[in-house]
Amino acid sequence: MFGKKTHTPSENILILGLGGVGYYLAKRLAHEGYAITVIELASSLIREADGTLDARLIQGNAMSIDCWRGANAEKMDYLIAVTDNDAVNMMASIIADRFGISRKIARVRSLEFGNEDSLLTVEDLKIDLIIHPEELAAQEIVRIIKLRAGNDIIDSADGQIQVMATRIPESSPLAHKTLKEMSQTYHEFRFRVVALARGISTVIPGGNDTLLPQDQIFIMAGTKDLPKLMTLTGVEQQRRHRVMILGGGLVGSRVAQLLEETVEVTMIEKDEESAQELSYTLKHAEVLHGDGSDANVLQMAGLLDMDTFITATGDNETNIMSCLLAKHLMNEKNSPEKSRLRKSICLVNKEDYLVLAATMGSDIALNKKILAGNEILKFIRMGQLLSVADLHGFDAEMVEIVAEPGAQITRKPLSKLDPAYYGQIIIGAIFREGEWRVAVGDTHIHDNERAIVVCKSLFLKDVQQLFFS
């Protein structure tokens, strides 16, 4: 996007399936310069992708050897099998092995395959990486619930740097202040606001940007300074004791299963038969049959006594609106101080709604397609990036990267970088003299230094251009 394209990947990637995960990966990888070939059976998905994807599109059956030959499978470096059929994805990896494709990734929803104690292991299936989308989403929700502070806290830089997500209330001393004013006022320790969500947009802020009430923000600081940051932002620590889950599908039921022995779990499931089955499957959770989008149902189920509310149905609108309703009820019936301790987590199935969900009422918005896609992207980018983390509810990610000798980023201080990067990329921290330091405008990154960078998702290639010579 900016400047001369450098460090362009040379790998050829074959993707099977152009559904949610397949399209997301094809778009991201093509944008970064990989050569993408896609095999998809549905002509409607091919038509929708034609003209929007910089990829070779082949309509056909993923199990057709003729399609594989037509795709020049023998020249591929990666196979990514993400059709909606577990058996097809697993078999595809075996076929790919016969074509000599060295690295194979498959999406498998069932947890009965690919584990060390499974009947069929990854070695048996010739798979290098198995992705369980629903399990990834469930594990991430549980991780967030177990946090005692903030809406989310992400560790980076070997645990020496942390990024905390929180919402700016009207009463916050940071409200209506520019980032420059904040750094001048609160200079006893270094921190950086590295991303904010407002309306339907993600903003990578600069010094002149102003924080407004209800902004969702990510703030970066050294781990030792996190308590000071929590005091500054008004974040209180709290252990979660009571959790309500709306939706007993694969994600919701798995979250309940992972939590039910340590916290009180109440689940609301709209389908009566599914609710009955869940009541037998879950040993300690309370399972209720009802419509979780109804305010009376939520209150009768004990919403006002909950620490955390999770929406995990298969419907975007239900998840977002129920989360908004629950947040409104909890705020209306509780004091502002008590309301701030309540956490809401929304599973969003359409990535375009992520930022909207995060700004409308959800404290955390997750998308299992993006979670699965980013796990695959991390695997493919190994060797280029030391770590990659998604900022939930934001169109942004955080990466750890090393500046190659002579790279553009090493030639001048951060304040002198091309203005075209402003609003798209921010350097949050660098590793120097044996310790991690929060970066500021006059920081000058040297050859071979590690850095933590936050960027909008489609600007990762520009980060690579900055750091690679």
- Residue-wise pLDDT for 380-407, tens only, equals 887 677 788 888 878 888 989 999 999 9
From start to end of 117-215, where are the E strands? 129-131, 152-156, 161-167, 191-198, 201-203
Last residue of a domain, one of 282, 316, 340: 340
What CATH number does residue 391 fall under? 3.30.70.1450
* Whole-model pTM over 0.85: no
Residue 402 and residue 333 share a domain = no
User: Domain for residue 144, yes or no?
Assistant: no
Residue 451 and residue 392 share a domain = yes
Residue 124 and residue 38 share a domain = yes
Residue 392 and residue 316 share a domain = no
Residue 391 and residue 313 share a domain = no
Encoded tokens for 152: 């989310």
Predicted pLDDT of residue 185: 87
User: Domain for residue 291, yes or no?
Assistant: yes
Whether residue 355 contacts residue 217, with contact meaning beta carbons closer than 8 Å, is answered with: no
Residue 120 and residue 27 share a domain = yes
Last residue of a domain, one of 281, 311, 340: 340
Rounded to the nearest integer, the mean pLDDT of the chain is 86
Task: Assign 104 a pLDDT band (cuts: 50, 70, 90).
Answer: very high
Range of the domain at 461: 379-467
% of the chain exceeding 70 in pLDDT:
92
Q: Which of 116-125, 245-254, 422-431 has the highest mean pLDDT?
A: 245-254
Q: Which range among 84-88, 114-118, 343-347, 408-412 shows the weakest confidence by mean pLDDT?
A: 114-118
User: Domain for residue 216, yes or no?
Assistant: no
Predicted pLDDT of residue 153: 85
Using the predicted structure, report yes or no on whether residue 28 has a pLDDT greater than 50: yes
User: Domain for residue 161, yes or no?
Assistant: no
C-alpha 392/C-alpha 377 separation (Å) is: 16
Q: What are the Cα distances from residue 400, in Å, to 1, 129, 369, 436?
A: 21, 22, 23, 12
Higher-pLDDT residue of 72, 225: 72
Residue 405 and residue 321 share a domain = no
Last residue of a domain, one of 311, 340, 369: 340
Domains of the chain: total: 3
Predicted pLDDT of residue 336: 54
Q: In what side-by-side order are the strands of the sheet with 343-347?
A: 286-289, 264-269, 242-246, 308-311, 343-347, 364-366
Residue 383 and residue 336 share a domain = no
Does an H or E element contain 330, and which? helix 316-333
Residue 327 and residue 255 share a domain = yes
Residue 333 and residue 401 share a domain = no
User: Domain for residue 163, yes or no?
Assistant: no
Q: Which of 88-97, 169-178, 338-347, 375-384 has the highest mean pLDDT?
A: 88-97
User: Domain for residue 138, yes or no?
Assistant: no
User: Domain for residue 265, yes or no?
Assistant: yes
What CATH number does residue 327 fall under? 3.40.50.720
User: Domain for residue 16, yes or no?
Assistant: yes
SS3 160: coil
* Tens digits of residue pLDDT in 339-348: 556 788 999 8
Whether residue 282 contacts residue 267, with contact meaning beta carbons closer than 8 Å, is answered with: yes
Please name the residues in contact with 187: beta carbons below 8 A apart, sequence gap of 6 or more: none
Predicted pLDDT of residue 393: 79
Task: Assign 337 a pLDDT band (cuts: 50, 70, 90).
Answer: low
Q: Which of 64-73, 191-200, 312-321 has the highest mean pLDDT?
A: 64-73
